[in-house]
Structure 1
């Protein structure tokens, strides 16, 4: 017969796990309705959602605030530099799309924002070197945990620190995070999402078309 304390611990752990699972399903699957031009990869929704104020720290040490993102379509992807698979794969796919829209003038060219959710290990210099290794135009930024939580929550995304495996050094932890890419319109509003698996050609085609459209 199980010790009652052990049962309580197991129940609490199960509830926590179900809570994170539910949050991920809820936050990474916002209700959407078609809007604007037909898109292949981007799920646009109407109306776009205004974002609360936020402040991240860019790889060059300057602040990234909402006004910095206006005038461009922006693709926001969460990750961390110690990520073994999803992050480098996604950034490599996005770099393929970035190459395809490189002819768009810099003043309106779509942007990719890589936001690290691991500020404990990811310094501004580190995230800049990491992100620019995929594409020089990628914006890399991070912040302290409270600011990151506020920013990601406003985008309906989640992240969580997972302890290192038993017997491994404590600093070998990993980060669980939403894999969805959030799309901000040229007014800095949350305007859509791109769900994996990602098709670089479809993403590039969508943003070339969206950039040609008048800003809503």
Structure 2
């Protein structure tokens, strides 16, 4: 009866190398997830598994100052895209944010947070129009807009979409995403709030984020 041939030395060496690689990968993977900061428990916000880099952009605030990625560093940012002549979702969302902002003031969390309204209708939403519209809801809210080139660059980076269509009667129809984007103090996209919004859930989640990281 023939005995099985012993494994050749090259095959044994290869198996040892493969085992070492698998073990090293498992150690790296375990260390990565062990060191990853645990996400906070939130009522309605959706946080992404990993922060996402935001493309450089240059918009103009209603007060005449520029709005760049640098302005979103140092605090949590909640950014909503819309336009001042929006008949429904924009004023409704800003009204919710007004209530949320008042509640955050009672909780002493406003200094760590910021709300931005970015118009996707730059031709009609002049600086004066934007300032009056957004200021009606809160003088603390930042109002800004910019060229379509800059708006497109930013919205694509944030996963937001918008479009404007000129109708036969000369009116302009604007469509846009309804989510509120969340940008962390490092200026990275980390998540969003999806409609419909509930003021209490927004306030609770924003307060939690203000105390996280």
Shorter-chain TM-score: which interval? 0.7 to 0.9
Residue 120 of structure 2 is aligned to residue 117 of structure 1:
yes
Which residue of the partner structure matches residue 55 of structure 1? 58
State the alpha-carbon separation in 2 of the partners of residues 163 and 36 from structure 1: 44
Larger Rg: 2
Q: Does the 8 Å CA contact 2:104/2:110 hold for their aligned counterparts? A: no
Task: Kindly indicate whether the alpha-carbon contact (under 8 Å) linking 1:83 and 1:174 is maintained by their aligned counterparts in 2.
Answer: no
**Is contact 1:81–1:127 with CA below 8 Å preserved after alignment?**
yes
Q: Which residue of 2 aligns with 1:193?
A: 192
Q: Does 1:132 align with 2:130?
A: no
Give the superposition deviation at 1:163: 2.1
| CA distance in 2 between partners of 1:79 and 1:132 (Å) | 15
Q: Name the TM-score, length of structure 2 as normaliser.
A: 0.79
CA contact (8 A) 1:114 1:140 kept: yes
Counterparts of 1:107 and 1:211, CA distance in 2: 9
1:44 match: 47
Please report how far the alpha carbon of residue 50 of structure 1 lies from its aligned counterpart in structure 2 after TM superposition: 1.3
Q: How many residues align?
A: 176
| Equivalent runs, 1:15-164 vs 2, <5 Å | 36-103=39-106, 104=108, 107-108=111-112, 110-164=113-167
What do the CA deviations read for 1:20-69 (whole angstroms, capped 9, x no partner)?
xxxxxxxxxxxxxx951100111111211111211110011110111111
In structure 2, distance between residues paired with 1:178 and 1:161: 12
Unaligned runs of 5+ in 1: 1-33
Q: Secondary structure at the match of 1:40?
A: coil
How far off is 1:107 after superposition?
Answer: 3.9
Instruction: List alignment gaps of at least 5 residues for structure 2.
Output: 1-36
Distance of 1:35 and 1:87 partners within structure 2: 33
Distance in 2 (alpha carbons) for counterparts of 1:192 and 1:35 = 15
Moved over 4 A (4+): none
Native 8 Å contact 2:77 2:183 kept in 1: yes
Alpha carbons of structure 1 residues 35 and 120: separation in structure 2 relative to 1, 3 Å: farther
Q: Which moved more, 1:114-123 or 1:67-76?
A: 67-76
TM-score normalised over the length of structure 1 = 0.78
SS in 1 for 2:79: strand
Give the aligned CA root-mean-square deviation in angstroms.
1.5
Alignment partners' CA distance in 1, 2:193 and 2:202? 8
